[in-house]
Structure 1
Amino acid sequence: MNGSMGFAPDVTVRSRGFTIGAVGAGMIMAECHLAAYREAGFRVGAIASRTLGNAQKVAERWDIPKVHATPEELIADPAVEILDLAFPPDQQPRLIRLALQQPQIKGILAQKPLALSLDEARALRDEAAAAGKVLSVNQNMRYDQSMRVLKQILDRGELGQPVIATIEMRAIPHWQTFLAGYDRLTLSNMSVHHLDVLRFLFGDPSEIYTAARQDPRTGFPHQDGITISTLKFPSGVIALSMEDVWSGPREEGFDSDIYIKWRVEGTDGVAQGTIGWPHGQPSTLRYASKTATGGKWVEPSWETHWFPHAFIGVMEQLQHAIETGSAPALSVADNVKTMALVEAGYRSIDEHRAVRLDEIEI
């Protein structure tokens, strides 16, 4: 069985009326944000980057009418209503604060991690609220098609009471060069996807235990190359998130087995699938439910991908929040809770123990 089966793997675009100013011209902006915005019919009015030449190339590719010499110049542009940031997390907070001072900017889409520390993330949350601006954080895995359909299955109760969930990553991310200068690597920059999506699926966990090791296959210093986190939730759900971000030898001719897999078991059913990003394919989901499928495995399908199509949902939810005056689905207040979970994971690594989330101030 295939087709959508009544599920909504992708969002319906409700709002698209604001002018976006894009800051950044690297892979995530050029290949994901702007590709998604073109498909959705979002209006990108300007772009800037740390390197003017890169911004000019991306502007030409995506027909962006205005190129600013600096991010600061773009932020001051009176035509820019939404600031879309794809910038390193050590430099992002300064640009967010500058945007909060601009009367014409109604909303900001920031990258994750929002900042390099939980303290900085809390401060940005409070400053955005004081400025009356909508600050949203690009936790785009919530808009992966398999995660959206899984959430719909859970909300329908088709798996019964959720019992255990796992996310297993053996894939090589696009490590930006700036990460080599940070002391935190995988938990902050890759596990943050999985920890956030587990919150999206099951609510806020009560505790986390994270084990990590340096990865001898990663070519720059770091403390957390490979991470394994176990989360417990008040509902009783236990979840495991594992990130192996090198995935075997990478020498030419070595056949690495690269994948991201997930599985959720409940009292009435099981769902499992893959994230298609490492291979440029759609994500997958198959599930069997005693109540909804007669115990038989069924497989909803779709043609869209996590990259770039999830970025339609991320920008759409921000525009809709601005248009309606409602809270964005990816609010900065909610993201601070994900940042707190990451911080608890690092405390767990440092102290070799499970850390309760109520130990972390949010």
Structure 2
Amino acid sequence: MTLLVTGGTGFVMSVLAREWLDRDPKARTVILDRSGLDAMAQKYFAPVRDRLTVITADILDPSAWSAALDAEDITAIVHGATITPISRGSASEAKRQPEAEDPARIVDVNLMGTVRMLDWARNHSGVRRLVYVSSGAIYRHHGPDWSGEPLPEDGYVAPLTLYGISKFASEMVVNRYADLFGLSAASVRLASVYGPMDRATESRNFRHVPNRIAHFALAGEVIRPNSLEPVGDYIQSSDVARAIIALLDAPQLRYRHYNIGSGTTTTIGDIIGWARERVPGLTAEISAADKANIVQDPALKHGMWGAYDIARIERDTNWRPRPGKEAFHAYMDWIAEHEMS
């Protein structure tokens, strides 16, 4: 079994590639990415490097990678190559609008990169399934209609950013290719992901709240949120990897779109409390937004900012997310071992 992972040297996709190799000593992974393995990725993949092939090329240029992929016995594809131009988390970062820096590149990579991969996949009968990695950014800011319900996959779609727009457009293209060419394909919409291998890369430089709190706590820094009340559906990268693999393994997929999240919301105050269990002397001080090192809007509690309904993936697979505190503590342990040793 050989899995092709586009964008596989980055954050979530690198964890997926490693998870695929760890579970089966005979499995192989091929990574297609514009960036090669950085120092952290080289260390991360070292135990399985003999079963990993890295093709360094631009997803938009099939002439640079299609022949190399033709030589591999690819049986499944996870297309995660993307540009994630998000700016949020501190007062200074919130002032930036990274989408304005190169908007055409975002649309080209996120949409036309998907088309290029689909064109390759449809001509290779050995590919039995393709999973497209989408995002909760395709959802609107409000919903569902009934208070307290998690956000389902049907409806509530109204992307406002080029990132979300390009992701939703790609989902629709994946669906159409599936119908036209008989591909077994589905899209996964990720909630707020943090965890192992979360670092600044060429295509993504953003850290969700659990990442920031874990690093501040382990470094002995004072955590200064603007509020303890903001929420998020936070899911650890290892859980996301296992969820995607469960969809690759499923005998049949009954849906075209699947949410992947924890299925519940967690506040900044909750996460600080979890961190304090590992770092008892941790200090947290509510601060004005201009002095805070974690800035979130307390009003963002619904739609893409709230809990994601994960009933579909629970129906079609045996995957379940770990409890939030367990996953967060596992990430703190990973940081201590791999980033601070």
Normalising by the smaller structure, the TM-score range is 0.3 to 0.5
The TM-score, its normalising length taken from structure 1, stands at 0.39
The TM-score, its normalising length taken from structure 2, stands at 0.41
